[in-house]
Amino acid sequence: MAKKSKLTQLAVGIGTAMGKADRTAHRVARAGFAAKDELADIAKEIDSLKRQLLKTKKRLQKALK
Give the Cα separation of 20 and 46 in Å (integer). 39
- Is 60 contained in some domain? yes
- Is 53 contained in some domain? yes
- Is 30 contained in some domain? no
- Is 43 contained in some domain? yes
pTM value surpassing 0.85: no
- Is 28 contained in some domain? no
Residues 14-55: tens digit of each pLDDT: 999 999 999 999 999 999 999 999 999 999 999 999 999 999
Half-sphere exposure (Cβ direction) of 45: Cα atoms closer than 13 Å:
6
The structural domain count of the chain equals 1
- Is 4 contained in some domain? no
- Is 62 contained in some domain? yes
Residue 57: is its pLDDT beyond 60?
Answer: yes
Structural domain boundaries enclosing 54:
37-65
- Is 29 contained in some domain? no
